[in-house]
Amino acid sequence: MTDYLELAKATVNKAAQNGVEVEVIITQDKETQVRVSGGEVEQLSQSGSGGMGVRVIQDGRTGYAYTSDLSDDSIEQTWRTATELAQVATPDAYRGLPDPQPIPDEDLEIWDASMQDVPTDRKIELLRQIEQATLDYDERVVATQWCTYQDATSHVYLANSRGFGGQYGRTTAAAYLMAVARDADGHAATAFGVGASNFFDDLNAEDIGHEAASKSISILGGKPVETHVGTVVLDHFVGAQIIAAISGALTAESWQKKRSFLLDRMGQTVGSDMVTLLDNGRMKRGLASAPFDGEGVPTSATRLVDEGVLQNLIYDSYSARKDNRASTGNAQRNGHRGMPSLGPSNFYIQPGNMTRDEIIAGVEKGFLVLSGMQTGGIDPVTGDCSMSAAGLWIENGEITGPVDGVTIATTLNDFLMNITAVGNDLRMMPLFGIIGVPTLRVDHVTIGGS
């Protein structure tokens, strides 16, 4: 059996000639995807992929080449190609490999050793159970869409000419579907349910199915409310879309390119004191957690906004050199085919102490938003934020009926400043990156209806 870390190191040693810097990454991945409709398997695919990528840096000039063929001849051709490309590339003084740092010896709980032994039949049965749990929830749930299971087993092996060598494995499993509900009057509504974890046994068919079904039933027959400025309470699916845009505005690259609504506000108050935003690549069982990032820097927990005050950005080595800062371990890699790029890992708003019910009970008049679709869009550069929305109306702390056919609009600046309650129900959502959001109450939002 091939020792891929030793292969990466040996390739580095061969390619690191005449003072060039060399980085070699090898990835090995296996994936399964299943889709079920009406209890029948509609799609089943299993695939394996992997290969080697070589980055060569010489006097600030970078060359990159990759291959899926790990024969000796192919590997040699790959690192020689990367070397040749580096010789003709445009120099950039900030390009270079990071200095080696010790990697904390900590179990991040991102590897499910039993996942590779889970038979395909069991994965299919889980998906059937999810679909059936959705349909059995209420007779008004008439169908499901996109009932899908997917998992991945990934191994990363990384070495460079500065002495770094490391490896890790990560497993992920997720299932999701959309419930379609219809009442006797012909009103229809749809809603998502999703579950995701590093561990297969964490997926609960009833929880996923009931989430989709209960939300779709609750918003049946919704009508617009009058246009006004008021309070909204955001479900995880909706809040995650907004927080994902904010994560893009908190990268050093977005600031260096002057493409952030938060530009030049370091040390200033950018949100209410309820707002603490973190990026944590070392979160236990985090879907984006890893011991080191895509260039061998230890991942970290970075507090970006602390009780409303902007304190930091996320960095990879390249952006850190530009600002004379240290990397926060946020170089991301999507397999072996591309160079590292800056991006968030597990990005989330720190949860508070209130339950969702307690937040709702404190709303005199407002809108619990269970479903949102971007219309005008959410722009991390300008800060514009608007989406169509459906959910439930709140009067005197009580749910009074469904709402549909409305929009909610604010700016990302105002969104952060007007968060007045944060729930204790933090949930990491895998649909917009890995974004963590509890239930949020936001005041002074324009609700556009009739």
Q: How big is the CA angle at 245 (ends 439 and 282), to the nearest 5 degrees?
A: 75
pTM over 0.85: yes
Taking only the tens place, the pLDDT of each residue in 388-404 is: 999 999 999 999 999 99
For residue 27, the one-letter residue type is T
Helix or strand run (H / E) with residue 211: helix 205-218
Domains of the chain: 4-215 (3.30.2290.10), 222-450 (no CATH)
Contact 233/440 with Cβ under 8 angstroms?
Answer: yes
Q: Are 235 and 370 in contact (CB under 8 A)?
A: yes
The Cα-based distances of 1 to 6, 53, 166, 344, 410 in angstroms read 12, 20, 18, 34, 56
Measured CA to CA, the distance from residue 329 to residue 338 in angstroms comes to 17
Question: CA 224 to CA 217: how far, in whole Å?
Answer: 17
pLDDT in tens, 163-206: 999 999 999 999 999 999 999 999 999 999 999 999 999 999 99
- Read off the tokens for 83: 């070397």
Mean residue pLDDT of the chain comes to 97
Phi, psi of 28 (to 5 degrees): -135, 120
Which helix (H) or strand (E) is 10 found in, with range? Answer: helix 4-15
**Confidence band for 374, pLDDT divided at 50, 70 and 90:** confident
* 32 contacts: CB under 8 Å, gap ≥ 6: 45, 46, 120, 123, 149, 150, 151, 152
> How many secondary structure helices (H) and strands (E) does the chain include?
9, 20
Above 70 in pLDDT, residue 447?
Answer: yes
Res 377: pLDDT: 86
- Give the pair of three-digit tokens for residue 335: 């397999």
Asked whether the CA dihedral 63, 68, 70, 73 is positive or negative, the reply is negative
Residue 376 binned pLDDT confidence (cut-offs 50, 70, 90): low
- What share of the chain in percent tops pLDDT 70? 100
Q: Write down the pLDDT at residue 172.
A: 98
Q: How far apart are CA 42 and CA 35, in angstroms?
A: 5
Question: What's the pLDDT at 375?
Answer: 67
Q: What pLDDT does residue 450 have? A: 84
Beta pairing, strands 434-437 & 346-349:
parallel
Tell me how far apart the alpha carbons of residues 183 and 139 are, in angstroms, rounded to a whole number.
Answer: 9
| Residue 95 and residue 21 in contact, taking contact as beta carbons nearer than 8 Å | no
What is the DSSP track for 52-118? EEEEEEETTEEEEEEES--SHHHHHHHHHHHHHHHHHSPP-TT--PPPP-PPP--------TTGGGS
Tell whether the model's pLDDT for residue 123 goes beyond 80.
Answer: yes
Are the C-beta atoms of residues 420 and 272 closer than 8 Å to each other? yes
HEC-encoded secondary structure of 394-437: EECCEEEEEEEEEEEEEEHHHHHHCEEEEECCCEEECCCCEEEE
| Separation CA 177–CA 212 (nearest Å) | 7
| pLDDT per residue as tens digits for the range 240-280 | 999 999 999 999 999 999 999 999 999 999 999 999 999 99
**pLDDT of residue 34 exceeding 90:** yes
Supply the pLDDT for residue 18: 80
* Cα 144 to Cα 130: distance, rounded to the nearest angstrom: 10
Strand 365-378 relative to strand 228-234, pairing:
parallel
- Chain CA centroid to CA 430, Å: 5
Q: What is the pLDDT of residues 402-437, one digit of tens each?
A: 999 999 999 999 999 999 999 999 999 997 789 999
The answer to whether the beta carbons of residues 199 and 171 sit under 8 Å apart is yes
Asked if 223 and 389 touch (Cβ cutoff 8 Å), the reply is: no
- The pLDDT value given to residue 112: 98
Provide the β-strand partners of residue 57.
Answer: 21, 62
pLDDT for residue 432: 78
pLDDT tens per residue, range 126-161? 999 999 999 999 999 999 999 999 999 999 999 999
pLDDT tens readout for residues 311-339: 999 999 999 999 999 999 999 999 999 99
Segment 379-396 mean pLDDT: 96
